[in-house]
Structure 1
Amino acid sequence: MNSHIASSPTAALDMRHDCLAERQQALIAQLDQAELQWWQQALARLGQSPDANTAALLSSQCKRRIGDRAMLDDKGWSQLQVARALLLAQVLDQQPEAEQLPLLRQLFLWGDDQEKVALLKALDWLDSHGSCLELALQAGRTSNSQVFAALALDTLYPSRHYPERAFHQLVLKALGMGLDVSRLRGLSERQGVALNQLALDLLDEQLAAARPVSGGLYLAIAFNLLSPAQHQRLLGLSRQQCLPPGWHEHLAGHLPT
């Protein structure tokens, strides 16, 4: 991943403290006695030294001190990921407003892939106003599918804050990486003729190259919003029996039988 993060105007992070408080309670409920003791000590230490070095050190120690078990009430999150996200939230909350975003960028650059995963999964909790958009767009250039999935799936951050072109690129990259785009939240609200066109172009490209069609590609298409030309394009592929199995079900009611 590119080690340089483009700068953007400094802005305070508006964190979703209600979500963070719920995650804190859920994490504490799952920790065993030894884990809980270390966790309380870690929070106290970070409260005394709320700086990048302390946050990075405690995030690293989390891997040994907090089990990587799945959160019971939050599919897709592990205890380790939640702990790292909460450490981030605490250190950011104790910074002057003008220093919050620069610190978050610094911790992102310092983090290993799994720490980047935790940060990106938590962006919607840490930044409700989209101040981290440039950081998110830069992070999305990664070739690591786990890091990209943390940014793209099971989070509303892209749907809430990405401009149209960037969101469409996110969808296409998720498809290209073979990710489950049914987990790309807000996709249906972002569908339209423009995304239809991009999805159909990708379909044509894959068919022409005799490559497998990306699973879930049909989910990027709003069949009720097909332009006349797009309608005819899919109708032609359907008549030539070029469409993958299952597509005809989604075409039902939108293309003549």
Structure 2
Amino acid sequence: MNMDVTLRQAQLAEQNQALDRLLNQTELRWWQQARERLDQSPDANTAAMLSSQCRRHLQERSVPGVEGWNSIELARALLLAQVVGLQPQQARLALLEQLFQWGDDQEKIALLKVLDNLDSDGRCLDLALRAGRTSNPRVFAALALDTPYPSRHYPERAFHQLLLKALGMGLDTARVIGLAQRQGTTLNQLALDLIDEQLAAGRPVSPSLPRLIAFSLLSPAQRQRLAGLYQQQRLPAEWREHLAGS
């Protein structure tokens, strides 16, 4: 089985340039030295050590031109990309697995946010699926939100589970990339089942749950069920636009 891990070099180069532009002279000096050291010793120990030093040597702030990243996360992600790129193809997956296991939550977040650029072919799918079992909402959000990795590589059942867990954690499913392309009758039924579970437990319906539903694919019985819940004021007001004509 081919387990090569292929990097998206153009995207990584843009992120490198954005970080270089942000850093002040002192930070940039350390950053260049760190990159040189990793070139000389491209192994898991060196990468982990330098990742742990990022918070001491870099100020945390947002990175212009790289939405959703702060400087420390991005530096850690770029160190990962550098050390992975210096490995033989057959060694890359094992290295990423090792660094993920060693990392604290912040380092796991950096790896998951950059995973689509580190693994364009989906060879790290098992790692991503294991990462998705976390109970930490911030780690899970790094995997589920604002990244195309799940939509590119997850099988249907795993993608549906990711969506349902995102709802359970109160995350905004509008930030799940590729959701519209994964809608269908199966996801419709899962969403309706979740509505029933939430109402039966006396909990409010998740605000972003309508995004999971392909309303045009609902059966007449399903539409009638939702319309009845809305008329009973058991669904939020924003459901009205989705149920017009029911």
Report the alpha carbon displacement of residue 145 of structure 1 after superposing the two structures with TM: 0.3
Answering whether residue 83 of structure 2 is matched by residue 69 of structure 1, we say no
Answering whether residue 110 of structure 2 is matched by residue 118 of structure 1, we say yes
**TM-score normalized by structure 2?**
0.97
What is the CA–CA distance in structure 1 between the aligned matches of 2:67 and 2:192, rounded to whole Å? 32
Instruction: Give 1:112-151 correspondences, 5 Å limit.
Output: 112-151=104-143
Answering whether residue 154 of structure 2 is matched by residue 162 of structure 1, we say yes
CA contact (8 A) 2:112 2:142 kept: yes
Q: Which deviates further from its counterpart, 127-136 or 231-240?
A: 231-240
Answering whether residue 162 of structure 2 is matched by residue 206 of structure 1, we say no
Report the alpha carbon displacement of residue 10 of structure 1 after superposing the two structures with TM: 6.0
Answering whether residue 175 of structure 2 is matched by residue 183 of structure 1, we say yes
Report the alpha carbon displacement of residue 227 of structure 1 after superposing the two structures with TM: 2.3
Report the alpha carbon displacement of residue 200 of structure 1 after superposing the two structures with TM: 0.9
What is the CA–CA distance in structure 2 between the aligned matches of 1:244 and 1:44, rounded to whole Å? 55
Q: Could you list the per-position Cα deviations for residues 122-166 of structure 1 after superposition, in whole angstroms to 9, with x for gaps in the alignment?
A: 011000100000000000000000000000000000000000000
List alignment gaps of at least 5 residues for structure 2: none
1:15 to 7, 17, 21: 7
What is the CA–CA distance in structure 1 between the aligned matches of 2:142 and 2:93, rounded to whole Å? 19
Answering whether residue 237 of structure 2 is matched by residue 245 of structure 1, we say yes
Report the alpha carbon displacement of residue 237 of structure 1 after superposing the two structures with TM: 1.5
SS class of match (2:69): coil
Identity %: 65
SS class of match (2:87): coil
What is the CA–CA distance in structure 2 between the aligned matches of 1:201 and 1:20, rounded to whole Å? 41
Instruction: Give 1:88-107 correspondences, 5 Å limit.
Output: 88-107=80-99
The count of aligned residue pairs is 246
SS class of match (2:18): helix
**TM-score normalized by structure 1?**
0.93
CA contact (8 A) 1:10 1:101 kept: no
Q: Could you list the per-position Cα deviations for residues 200-224 of structure 1 after superposition, in whole angstroms to 9, with x for gaps in the alignment?
A: 1111111112112112111111111
What is the CA–CA distance in structure 1 between the aligned matches of 2:221 and 2:53, rounded to whole Å? 56
Q: Which deviates further from its counterpart, 72-81 or 20-29?
A: 72-81
CA contact (8 A) 1:42 1:58 kept: yes
Amino acid in structure 1 at the alignment position of 2:143: L
What is the CA–CA distance in structure 2 between the aligned matches of 1:251 and 1:79, rounded to whole Å? 44
List alignment gaps of at least 5 residues for structure 1: 1-8
Answering whether residue 14 of structure 2 is matched by residue 34 of structure 1, we say no
What is the CA–CA distance in structure 2 between the aligned matches of 1:67 and 1:164, rounded to whole Å? 40
Q: Which deviates further from its counterpart, 215-224 or 165-174?
A: 215-224
Report the alpha carbon displacement of residue 71 of structure 1 after superposing the two structures with TM: 1.1
Amino acid in structure 1 at the alignment position of 2:66: D
Report the alpha carbon displacement of residue 75 of structure 1 after superposing the two structures with TM: 2.2
What is the CA–CA distance in structure 1 between the aligned matches of 2:55 and 2:144, rounded to whole Å? 24
Amino acid in structure 1 at the alignment position of 2:219: S
